[in-house]
């Protein structure tokens, strides 16, 4: 996941449409995103342990006013980066990856419309994305 996010944010920093959103990201931002996506997709809870969980991720998006064009570019650059770093081309894997990216990026757009200074509930559970789980891919974390 780390290689994917490093490659992706290299592309983002060179992209005219996305640079305004991500141009001031700290150097360790790709690792933070890799930890988040890894946790959401069933990996270790590194993002929650080091960054504070889902409420922290939500807060990073408040007030960003992400446009549909920016969302689409974000998804496309991430898929291009997935190809470049050699993620599997298996149709089922790619279908699940695209579904996750569409779901997550659309939530980011919704959350980005909230005003800066909005406070996310720190008890907001980390979403869990189940790859091919019956009953739908999104599975709220069980308490």
CATH number at residue 54: 1.10.490.10
Range(s) of the domain holding residue 65: 2-139
Per-residue pLDDT tens digits for 46-91: 999 999 899 999 998 999 999 999 999 999 999 999 999 999 999 8
Asked if pLDDT for residue 133 goes beyond 70, the answer is no
Q: What percent of the chain has pLDDT over 90?
A: 69
| Structural domains counted in the chain | 1
Among 12, 30, 29, 8, residue whose Cα is nearest residue 21:
12
* Contacts of 91 by beta carbon, 8 Å cutoff, 6+ apart: none
* Contacts of 3 by beta carbon, 8 Å cutoff, 6+ apart: 85
Q: How much is the average pLDDT of 1-30?
A: 92
CA distances to 39, 75, 122, 125 from 141, rounded to whole Å, are 11, 25, 14, 6
CB atoms within 10 A of CB 127: 19
* pTM for the full predicted model: 0.86
Predicted pLDDT of residue 134: 45
Predicted pLDDT of residue 2: 94
Per-residue pLDDT tens digits for 106-129: 999 999 999 999 999 999 899 888
CA distances to 8, 52, 74, 106, 112 from 15, rounded to whole Å, are 11, 29, 10, 20, 20
Q: How far apart are CA 92 and CA 131, in angstroms?
A: 9
């Amino acid at each position: 996941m780390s290689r994917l996010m490093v490659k992706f944010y290299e592309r983002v920093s060179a992209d005219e449409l996305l640079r305004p959103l991500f141009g001031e990201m700290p150097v360790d931002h790709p690792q933070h995103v890799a930890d988040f996506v890894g946790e959401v997709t069933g990996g270790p809870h590194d993002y929650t342990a080091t960054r504070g969980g889902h409420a922290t991720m939500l807060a990073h998006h408040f007030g960003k006013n992400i446009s549909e064009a920016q969302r689409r570019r974000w998804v496309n650059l991430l898929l291009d980066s997935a190809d470049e770093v050699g993620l599997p081309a298996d149709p089922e894997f790619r279908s699940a990856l695209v579904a996750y990216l569409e779901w997550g990026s659309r939530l980011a757009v919704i959350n980005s419309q909230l005003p800066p200074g909005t406070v996310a509930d720190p008890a907001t559970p980390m979403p869990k994305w189940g790859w091919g789980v019956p009953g739908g891919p999104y599975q709220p974390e069980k308490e």
